[in-house]
Structure 1
Amino acid sequence: MGTVHAKSLDPLPMHGRDLGVHPDDLIEPPEQEQESKQEILENKDVVVQHVNIEGLGRTKEDLLGYEISDVFHAKSLIDVMKRAHVARLRLLRLGIFKDVEVLIDTSEGTDALPNGLDVTFEVTEIKRLTGSYNTMVGNNEGSMVLGLKLPNMFGRAEKLTFQFSYGTKETSYGLSFFKPQPGFFERNLTLNLYKVTGQFPWSSLKETDRGVSAELNFPLGVTSHTLKWEGVWRELGCLARSASFAVREEIKTTFCLLCFRGALFRINQVSEQKAHTPASDAHFYKVLRLNIRATVLSASLWGGMLYPIKGQPSCIADRFYLGGPTSVRGFGMYSIGPQSEGDYLGGEAYWAGGLHLYTPLPFRPGKGGFGDLFRTHFFLNAGNLCNLNYGEGPQAHLQKLAECIRWSYGAGIVLRLGNIARLELNYCVPMGVQSGDRYILRFTQICKISVI
Structure 2
Amino acid sequence: VLGLKFPNLFGRAEKVTFQFSYGTKETSYGLSFFKPQPGNFERNFSVNLYKVTGQFPWSSLRETDRGISTEFNFPVWKTNHTLKWEGVWRELGCLARTASFSVREESGHSLKSSLSHAMVIDSRNSSILPRQGALLKINQELAGYTGGDVRFLKEDFEFQLNKQLLWDSVIFKRYFGSWSEEVNNGWFYLGGPTSVRGFSMYSIGPQSEGDYLGGEAYWAGGLHLYTPLPFRPGQGGFGDLFRTHFFLNAGNLCNLNYGDGPKAHLQKLAEYIRWSYGTGIVLRLGNIARLELNYCFPMGVQSGDRICDGVQFGAGIRFL
Q: Match of 2:77?
A: 221
Deviation at 1:402, TM superposition (A): 0.7
Q: Match of 1:59?
A: none
Q: Match of 1:298?
A: 172
Q: Match of 2:16?
A: 160
Correspondence for 1:315 among 158, 181, 184: 184
- Structure 1 runs (4+) deviating above 6 angstroms are none
Deviation at 1:447, TM superposition (A): 4.3
Q: Does 1:210 align with 2:66?
A: yes
Q: Match of 2:292?
A: 424
Gaps of 5+ in 2: 130-140, 142-152
* TM-score calculated relative to the size of structure 2: 0.81
The 5 Å alignment of 1:282-361 reads 282-292=155-165, 293-308=167-182, 314-316=183-185, 318-361=186-229
Q: Match of 1:238?
A: 94
The 5 Å alignment of 1:64-103 reads none
Amino acid corresponding to residue 174 of structure 1 in structure 2:
G
RCO higher in structure (CA 8 A, sep ≥6): 2
The 5 Å alignment of 1:53-452 reads 145-252=1-108, 255=109, 258-261=110-113, 264-268=116-120, 281-292=154-165, 293-308=167-182, 314-316=183-185, 318-364=186-232, 372-389=240-257, 392-416=260-284, 418-419=286-287, 422-447=290-315
Q: Match of 1:108?
A: none
Gaps of 5+ in 1: 1-144, 274-278, 309-313
SS at match of 1:400: helix
Which whole-Å CA distance do the structure 1 matches of 2:303 and 2:56 have between them?
A: 21
Kindly name which structure, 1 or 2, has the bigger radius of gyration based on alpha carbons.
1
Which whole-Å CA distance do the structure 1 matches of 2:203 and 2:250 have between them?
A: 14
SS at match of 1:282: strand
Amino acid corresponding to residue 296 of structure 1 in structure 2:
V
Cα RMSD (Å):
2.7
1:364-409 CA deviation, whole Å, 9 max, x = no partner? 4565666555432211000001112366112111110011100011
1:103-150 CA deviation, whole Å, 9 max, x = no partner? xxxxxxxxxxxxxxxxxxxxxxxxxxxxxxxxxxxxxxxxxx111111
After alignment, is 160-169 or 178-187 more displaced?
A: 178-187
Deviation at 1:206, TM superposition (A): 1.2
Which whole-Å CA distance do the structure 2 matches of 1:409 and 1:383 have between them?
A: 12
SS at match of 1:323: coil
1:140-193 CA deviation, whole Å, 9 max, x = no partner? xxxxx1111112222222221111111111111111112223333333221111
Amino acid corresponding to residue 67 of structure 2 in structure 1:
G
Deviation at 1:331, TM superposition (A): 0.5
Which whole-Å CA distance do the structure 2 matches of 1:205 and 1:248 have between them?
A: 9
- Structure having the higher strand fraction is 2
Which whole-Å CA distance do the structure 2 matches of 1:416 and 1:177 have between them?
A: 30
Aligned length: 291
Which whole-Å CA distance do the structure 1 matches of 2:77 and 2:239 have between them?
A: 45
SS at match of 2:158: strand
Deviation at 1:290, TM superposition (A): 1.2
Which whole-Å CA distance do the structure 1 matches of 2:161 and 2:192 have between them?
A: 21
Label 1:229 to 1:413 Cα distance change in 2 as closer, same or farther (>3 A). closer
1:332-362 CA deviation, whole Å, 9 max, x = no partner? 1110000011110001111101011122334
Which whole-Å CA distance do the structure 1 matches of 2:288 and 2:82 have between them?
A: 30
